[in-house]
A and B are shown apart, each in its own frame.
Chain A
Amino acid sequence: MSPTPLAWYLGLSAVLFTVGVLGVLVRRNVIIIFMAIEIMLNAVNLAFVAFARSLGSMDGQVMVFFVMTVAAAEAAVGLAIILAIFRSRGTTNADELVSLKW
């Protein structure tokens, strides 16, 4: 069985990324938006790993570890912010969290 071609991985990565982007743009619940961002990160991770394997280089895999670390930190901070917003505003609906405007 020949190895899976690179294009498939990249196609999956693109689909996942698009799903994430659409989630960020169209969903109203901040937590869902947050999860959509995580999907985008993982889509990028997938692309990195696929390239690393295809090129026989470790660079992409190392980059993925960095992304995962940052994503973990970001998840902790992001969730804390969402929790704080929910406590003070009583909502997680992005359409209602619009006080930072002109």
Chain B
Amino acid sequence: MVSETSALRWMIALPAMGVFFHVFLGGRWPRAVTVVGPGLVAAAFGVAVTSALHLFRLAPGAALHDRVYTWIVAGPFRAEAALRLDALSAIMALVVTGVGFLIHVYSVGYMHGDRGFARFFAYLNLFMTAMLILVLADNLLLLFVGWEGVGLCSYLLIGFWYDKVENAAAGKKAFLVNRIGDAGFLLGLFLLVTTLGTHGVWTVEVTAIEQHLSLLAGARTVFGWPVPTVVCLLLLIGATGKSAQIPLYVWLPDAMAGPTPVSALIHAATMVTAGVYMIARLHALYALAPAALAVVATVGAATALLAGVIALAQTDIKRVLAYSTVSQLGFMFLGLGVGAPGAAVFHLVTHAFFKALLFLGAGSVIHGLGGEQDLERMGGLRRYMPITFWTMTIGTVAIAGVPPASGFFSKDEILHAAMAGPHALPALGVVGFVAAFLTAFYIGRLLFLTFLGECRAPEEVRHHVHESPAVMTVPLLVLALLALAGGVLPVPATLAPLFGQGEAGETPLAMLGLATALAVGGLALAYTLYVRLPGLPFLLAWRLGRAYTLVRDKFRVDELYDAAVVRPLFAVARVAAWPIDQGVIDGTVNGVALLVGATSGVARRLLTGNVQHYALSFLFGALLILGYYVLR
């Protein structure tokens, strides 16, 4: 059942108005930016809440629809600019606007006094606009508009402090890696639309695609591969780009060059979940391609493990969190791949809470230490920053998966689906358990190195350590509450009618016990190593030798890509630039010009400037014409 409304467009329009305000008036009126920036997002949150309440009063599986205008008509092809709020997009919209609002408030404190204050909020509001387009779009083309929009905002915000070369380079890297994924997304979309089009169904609308899936089931591509599998794999490439999965995850750790609220909002809570959202949105299509689902699950599990291992040996607080994000997104992909999109979206929601909390806590620490990000130069901050410490402890417990915090419930659902769900892949489930243990360990390491033990900060920094202002700590407290209690949200139950399949059922007690034991064990091990026996990690690192350096250097994947992709491309580009562009193309153009110049050089000798020479040519002309008439 779909009921029409015109409220949804306001969710997008409100932050969009903010963009114009900040761009045109923000520079002159910075105090207004602090009100308008978060205020409009709060208003969008209000619209999201009322719309969601309206939706949940309707029958389960219902949706709100807002047709704004007809966007593209080309022959039989037709695309509307229309928005759709069903259970899935309602949950996403609530998370995006809710967490987004808290981070906007936090940013007012964090970015206070920055030269680009208004510009920052313009980008942030633009991000909210694009993300809400992505989430609310009722067709894949409009979704792609949002998809590109959030990518643009990510680029702009990573390179926000563009006067430092490495920030600009990180932004560029994120943009380029995402382009690779976007190319996959577009190809998948083209194949999907044209395949349906050959059957006379020209549409990009998700619900229409779902209705006509039977047309796809038997379709084959030129190589004889089934169309659904190819489409799903191409879309997966897009998802691995945006959601930082193997092989395109490399941009996300570098994206930490942006301001910390950006890392929290875009590179942890919302934008990077777009790939998860997209696959969950197209779950019916993916259900036609079990092979593609297995690939999704494998990519997810592998990413969760790899990023978890890398996070063990990082010393930059934001980098640990970045790899943690990659790892958690891997969990979500695992959930999607084993046929539990509800659990994946549940983890998406709880992850948005606790990862935003952890990032904002890390930002508070960095703020308090005057820009320090190195874990080696923190420690003992518990005394100075009690609110940050306690909220981050809650975030740690939540991500580690200690009951009753939120991460326990969502991670458990994914692992249970992987072990015993309808499309279970127990081998990947085991990988998931290992990754869960790693999660508990690295996040414990981060917490203990930051807040417990001896303070390793230099003397002059230690003097200035201070708790952050209320505008930053209040969002931390709210997020801590959400991270702690988010597990009770009935996300999978709400989504069940949409995904139309049974989840794995009640989790056996043994598995709950194992998950809890792994979480607590990881934290305890981290406590032992980094608080009780602080010398031991160095000894271990020394004993592990090259294995440790390899992990610390992130398995040298960046170097591998550099050698395997970037340098060959540069070599090709050099050939294209010099021998081909300069030689062949410019050579042809310049050659033609030279030839014309040379021939005209002869002809122009005729123009001597002497009137009598011209008169002579008149005479010859006249005689020729006369001769013609006389002699013919």
* A contact set with B: CB distance below 8 Å: 21, 24-26, 33, 94-95, 97-102
Contacts and interface: CB of A to CB of B under 8 A. Distances in A.
Nearest to B609: A101
Interface in B593-622: 604-605, 607-612, 615-616, 619
A94 B610 contact: yes
Contacts of A24: 612, 615
Given A100-B609, A101-B608, A102-B604, 20 more contacts: A21-B619, A24-B612, A25-B612, A25-B616, A25-B619, A26-B612, A33-B611, A33-B612, A94-B611, A94-B612, A95-B610, A97-B610, A97-B611, A98-B608, A98-B609, A99-B609, A101-B607, A101-B609, A102-B605, A102-B607
Contacts of A102: 604-605, 607
Interface in B333-348: none
Nearest to A102: B604
Nearest to A99: B609
Nearest to B604: A102
Interface string B230-265: 000000000000000000000000000000000000
Interface of B: 604-605, 607-612, 615-616, 619
A26 B610 CA distance: 12
Contacts of B619: 21, 25
B122 to A, nearest CB: 57
Contacts, number: 29
Contacts of A99: 609
A99 B615 CA distance: 17
Nearest to A98: B609
Contacts of B605: 102
B197 to A, nearest CB: 61
A25 B615 contact: yes
Contacts of B611: 33, 94, 97
User: Majority SS of interface residues in chain B?
Assistant: helix
A94 B616 CA distance: 14
26 contacts: A21-B619, A24-B612, A24-B615, A25-B616, A25-B619, A26-B612, A33-B611, A33-B612, A94-B610, A94-B611, A94-B612, A95-B610, A97-B609, A97-B610, A97-B611, A98-B608, A98-B610, A99-B609, A100-B609, A101-B607, A101-B608, A101-B609, A101-B610, A102-B604, A102-B605, A102-B607
A64 to B, nearest CB: 21
A98 to B, nearest CB: 4
A24 B616 CA distance: 9
A33 B610 CA distance: 13
B632 to A, nearest CB: 21
Nearest to B608: A101
Nearest to A96: B610
Q: Counting chain A CB atoms within 10 Å of each CB, which of B615, B616, B619 scores highest?
A: B615
A99 B607 CA distance: 11
A101 B616 CA distance: 16
Contacts of A21: 619
A62 B226 CA distance: 93
A26 B619 CA distance: 13
Nearest to B619: A21
Nearest to B615: A24
Contacts of A98: 608-610
Contacts of B616: 25
B606 to A, nearest CB: 9
List 8 A-B pairs, minimum CB-CB distance, nearest first. Answer: A101-B609, A98-B609, A102-B604, A100-B609, A98-B610, A102-B607, A24-B615, A101-B607
A44 to B, nearest CB: 13
Nearest to B606: A102
Contacts of A25: 612, 615-616, 619
A94 B609 CA distance: 10
A78 to B, nearest CB: 12
A11 B615 CA distance: 23
A98 B610 CA distance: 5
A25 B611 CA distance: 9
Nearest to B611: A94
A33 B614 CA distance: 13
A99 B610 CA distance: 8
A95 to B, nearest CB: 6
A100 B619 CA distance: 21
Contacts of B604: 102
Contacts of B608: 98, 101
Nearest to B601: A102
A33 B615 CA distance: 11
A101 B605 CA distance: 9
Contacts of A26: 612
Contacts of A33: 611-612
B604 to A, nearest CB: 4
Most buried by B among A99, A100, A102: A102
Contacts of B612: 24-26, 33, 94
Contacts of A101: 607-610
Contacts of B607: 101-102
A45 to B, nearest CB: 18
Nearest to B603: A102
A40 to B, nearest CB: 11
A84 B436 CA distance: 99
A22 B609 CA distance: 19
A22 to B, nearest CB: 10
B309 to A, nearest CB: 76
A21 B612 CA distance: 10
A95 B611 CA distance: 8
Contacts of B609: 97-101
Nearest to A27: B612
Nearest to B605: A102
B618 to A, nearest CB: 9
A89 to B, nearest CB: 13
B605 to A, nearest CB: 8
B607 to A, nearest CB: 5
Contacts of A100: 609
A88 to B, nearest CB: 16
A98 B607 CA distance: 10
Q: Of B605, B607, B610, which is in contact with the most chain A CB atoms at under 10 Å from its CB?
A: B610
Contacts of B610: 94-95, 97-98, 101
